[in-house]
Structure 1
Amino acid sequence: MAKTLFTPNSLIKLHRHDLPPGLDFGPVVAVDTETMGLDPRRDRLCLVQLSAGDGTAHCVQIMPPTLGGRGADCPNLKALLADPAVVKLFHFARFDVAMLRAALGIECAPVRCTKIAAKLVRTFTERHGLKELCRELLGIEISKQQQSSDWGAAELTPEQLAYAASDVLHLHALWEKLEGLLRREGRLELAEACFRFLPARGALDLLGYDDPDIFAH
């Protein structure tokens, strides 16, 4: 059974182990992950957040069997993330697709990444974080206070869930703004080529080719 949390402008549903069957996120689903660290070869996947851009966030808590969970036994979640008919929308997709491959054994594709899009068209600034983009493009303030909290805890706090949800609730609106800028600057086709490469980039990272980077001199 889902645990439901109401916030002023959104609805957050926490699911243990897997998504319930029958959920329809439409043709584009916003996705983010929370983990025990930033190395997908070492650190555990703890939470996967998803939103259809409708003000509702679904958070799937992934726990290993040692903590009473089911680990990678989440067929509904994996089917959605691997569905070639559904675009997965991320911010900094390079990390998330690598983590999902390592933890769940799936290739997450096709994908879009708002961070790559921002870097392609907002070359007048180095501020490409989600917090800055939401403020500058959407006029929305999001908090990053819970970013470094313990996501491996068996019971997540309402503050953690609100933070996790904020990472996906605005991605559809943010992509709409960035897609317009990519079209305006004639870089949408280049962005799409970058997005198609992201699953391979994640696979290279898992093999240790982030350093040395095989694309470097």
Structure 2
Amino acid sequence: MTVYFHEEDLPDGTFADLAPDHPLAVDTETMGLVTARDRLCVVQISDGKGDEHLVRFKNGSSYDAPNLKRVLADRNRVKIYHFARFDLAAIEHYLGVEAGPVFCTKIASKLTRTYTDRHGLKNLVNELLGEDMSKQQQSSDWGADTITDAQREYAASDVRFLHRMREILITRLEREGRLEMAQAAYDFLPTRARLDLAGWADKDIFSHE
């Protein structure tokens, strides 16, 4: 298992040896939770084979990352997220691409693990895979000039488990007869992210209010 760290873009040919339909796990680290205000600092990607790739963007970056954008925008590869709504908005706002098709482990968890209200990544990793992960670096300064080894390991761990969890959650969605419902939710997520970016983050446009 290796964590690769890249500045501003993926190297040429990264993931080129994968089958076109091979899913990729994706996550982002930002300066905060307000997408337009809090800049994108790191994008993490894993092919599920044991390695993770981290792409760091420094302050003032143009976000001109053609290799990364090509991978994220590839419609032949499902992108696995945990809470895809946030990551899709950050990627579209800063990189200008729709990073789908989508599988969101948090939505899948909410549709299948109805016996709990604990749907955080750490909770899922512990229950579904029997492993522990540290969230200690979650609120650290991702815009610092130097990304620490602890931050790199944290960022890598956010995509390390998503492939295995996806397989388990697909089985549970099928078991509960909710696979089509989940897919419809995933298909809507890019639009939901755009609604967030356009100012409707806290409004339910489907409500009667």
TM superposition score normalised by structure 1: 0.92
Shift of 1:154: 1.6
Task: List runs of 5+ in structure 1 lacking aligned partners.
Answer: 1-9
Q: Name the counterpart of 2:162.
A: 171
Shift of 1:59: 0.2
Matched, 1:157 2:152: no
Q: Deviations over 1:65-88 (max 9, x none)?
A: 3xxxx4311000011101111111
Secondary structure of the structure 1 residue equivalent to 2:154 = helix
Shift of 1:151: 0.2
Identity of aligned residues (%): 55
Contact 2:59–2:143, Cα closer than 8 Å, also in 1: no
Alpha-carbon distance in 2 for matches of 1:193, 1:157: 39
Q: Name the counterpart of 1:130.
A: 121
Shift of 1:215: 1.8
Q: Deviations over 1:73-107 (max 9, x none)?
A: 10000111011111110000000000101111111
Of residues 19-28 and 152-161 in structure 1, the stretch that sits farther from structure 2 once superposed is 19-28
Contact 1:29–1:88, Cα closer than 8 Å, also in 2: yes
Question: What value does the CA root-mean-square deviation take over the aligned residues?
Answer: 1.0
Q: 2:134 aligns with which of 135, 140, 143?
A: 143
Secondary structure of the structure 2 residue equivalent to 1:199 = helix
Alpha-carbon distance in 1 for matches of 2:3, 2:67: 18
Q: Name the counterpart of 1:32.
A: 27
Q: Deviations over 1:23-48 (max 9, x none)?
A: 11551000000000001121100000
Q: Name the counterpart of 1:83.
A: 74
TM superposition score normalised by structure 2: 0.95
Matched, 1:73 2:64: yes
Alpha-carbon distance in 2 for matches of 1:215, 1:93: 20
Shift of 1:201: 0.4
Q: Deviations over 1:145-179 (max 9, x none)?
A: 00000000121000000000000010000111111
Q: Deviations over 1:168-216 (max 9, x none)?
A: 0100001111111001001011101100000000000000111222122
More strand by share: 1
Alpha-carbon distance in 2 for matches of 1:173, 1:91: 13
- Paired letter, 2:176: E
Task: List runs of 5+ in structure 2 lacking aligned partners.
Answer: none
The 4+ residue runs of structure 1 with deviation greater than 2 A are: none
Matched, 1:41 2:42: no
